[in-house]
Structure 1
Amino acid sequence: MSGKRTVKANLPTKTCLVCQRPFTWRKKWSRVWDEVLYCSDACRGRRQQKSPPVAASPDSG
């Protein structure tokens, strides 16, 4: 075998902010690994949304 193969056990890992499961580095994330927070599109879709801005109440004004 060629000596260029990377052993999967040596890849960096992170913990998903939504499901709390560990996930490993993927080649498609090579340039943005520091920005990756979620293990999948499904978890990214389930992330907690920030509260919508509080609108002025109709009583004020």
Structure 2
Amino acid sequence: MKREPGFKGNKAALPSKPCLVCGRPMSWRKAWARNWDEVRYCSDACRQRKKATP
């Protein structure tokens, strides 16, 4: 069976959670491995659009 060069595994099995601002599902990334529990926003744009908390 021939694989595509960029495919490294079954990404559907990775955990995901919704972004707090836009609600889009965020898939787990290796860069977030150490702080996955603290990741809240899918992008810098959503981080800037977050509501200010008093």
Which structure would you say has the larger Rg?
1
**TM-score, reference length from structure 2:** 0.79
Q: Distance in 2 between matches of 1:6 and 1:37?
A: 25
**TM-score, reference length from structure 1:** 0.71
Which residue is equivalent to 1:13? 16
Report the number of matched residues: 48
Q: Which runs of 5+ in 1 are unaligned?
A: 52-61
Q: Which runs of 5+ in 2 are unaligned?
A: none
SS in structure 2 at match of 1:14: strand
Q: Please tell me the root mean square deviation across aligned C-alpha atoms, in Å.
A: 1.3
Paired-residue identity, % = 58
